[in-house]
Amino acid sequence: MSRPLFALYLSSAFLFAFVVSNVNAQPPASSPGEQTSTPATGTASVQKQSVKSYTLSPERYEKAVAYSRATYRLHFLGAAYSLALLLIILSLRLAPMFRDTAERVSRRRLVQAIVFVPLLLFTFELLKSPLKAYEHHVAVQYGISVQGWGSWAWDWAKGELIQIIIASVLAYILYGVIRRSPRRWWLYCGLGSLPLLVFLMFISPVIIEPLFYKFDPLAANQPALVEEIEKEVKHAGLDIPRERMFEMKASEKLNAIDAYVTGFGSSARIVVLDTTVMKMTTPETLFVVGHEMGHYVLGHIPKGIAFTGALIIVLLLLSHFAINHTLDRKRRRWAIRGVDDWASFPLILLFLYLFFFLSEPVSNTFSRYQEHQADIYGLEVIHGIAPDSAETAAQAFQTLGEVDLADPNPGTLIKVWLYSHPPLADRLTFAHDYDPWSKGQQPMFVR
């Protein structure tokens, strides 16, 4: 699943755009490959090696380990820090103070939401900003990001503004449901998250993503690549004309490489990062695009929405019980009148954040399963288009790991808790060995 799409799942799941940052780590390990010639087609002109297992130079290996460990620590530290901040906000009674301000401004609930939610979320996000800034510092330090501080701050501000606008509307709806159905609000809000997921997925490519990156028609800059992708799209049985193929100017901010299929219906489009074009051959890029096509063809989008919706309902139910139990003991101390009081918002966020964090192993296990299926689909859909589909995919993973500094040896806990994709070393080995055609077997998905 593409990073933008995964981010949308998370932001939607929080119902109030309370976004959890997930480490999209993708790892390596093993021995040197053999020298071979550059692939016949491709945009990258560097010499490639035949790879059977993930390999890094000693210097790159140490750097990948250090960067991965840093991101793991930041993930868990970020979760603990966010929970601590919400507890501090509750203990200092900041939410009741903001609630009183909102109620003085107007008796209308919508106006109160527009006053209260920005005050609360801006305070929370401002207190979190040093950690966010440090995360950016780490990304720059290890060469993952090349974005300057001015550009980063502007993106942060835009992201916060979008989050606050969405959160204000959704909080208004949330508290309206709570007031009308204090016992079953968790069910109605969980069911309501499903159309929200669909809506955000639809508008993201045309409204949200262009606020952060520049997109150009892919045919204008990479006509040869577009011709190859069109063959792949036809092979996949999809209808995505070249007018909906774009190149994202990621190199202005990132060194990371990726391609993704996003949106659906009239907003469906293929996006290739310009960094991918610079660092991967055309066959490797086709594999990455084919992997993303797999999510669409294999129905991962509706399945992912259904899974996420079910998870939201369960976690909202747990939050419902936890909130009521906590208010029985802390209502007066925190000056919260009840669950339907605006001042309960940080308490709702606290338990939602906690339960979503604790559910990461479940959601990531589901994601890893889908990603493995998409890897198989990507291998099959480029068979006959790329010179050697298995070697092409292995090369793509090797390049991806080198650029993204994938962890050489992630521990079991890290893999289960944090990895939305299988470890890169496992993906590379599988890709290199997957060859049903030579064994007289039927491919799993593309026949």
State the pLDDT at residue 92.
98
Rounded to two decimals, the pTM is 0.88
What pLDDT score does 266 carry?
76
Residue closest to 360 by CA, chosen among 301, 409, 284, 413: 413
d(CA 88, CA 93): 8
What local confidence, expressed as pLDDT, does residue 330 receive?
Answer: 96
Note the pLDDT of residue 211. 95
What pLDDT is attached to residue 264? 75
- Alpha carbon distance 426, 433 (integer Å): 11
Q: Give the lowest-confidence range in 4-13, 162-171, 216-225, 397-406.
A: 4-13
pLDDT at 9: 35
pLDDT for 391-442, tens place per residue?
999 999 999 999 999 999 999 999 999 999 999 999 999 999 999 999 999 9
- What average pLDDT score do residues 9-19 get? 37
So what's the pLDDT on residue 8?
36
- Residue 25 confidence (pLDDT) above 90: no
Write out pLDDT tens, residues 43-70: 554 456 688 999 999 999 999 999 999 9
Q: Are 291 and 375 in contact (CB under 8 A)?
A: yes
Between 20 and 376, residue with greater pLDDT? 376
Residue 303 vs residues 190, 231, 269, 296, 309: alpha-carbon distances, Å: 16, 27, 20, 10, 10
pLDDT of 100 reads 98
pLDDT at 51: 86
pLDDT score of 287: 96
How far apart CA 208 and CA 159 sit, in angstroms, is: 9
Neighbouring-strand partners of residue 49: 35
Average pLDDT, stretch 28-50? 41
Once rounded to an integer, what is the mean pLDDT over residues 324-346? 97
Bridge partners (DSSP) listed for residue 145? 254
CA atoms of 234 and 51, how far apart (whole Å): 29
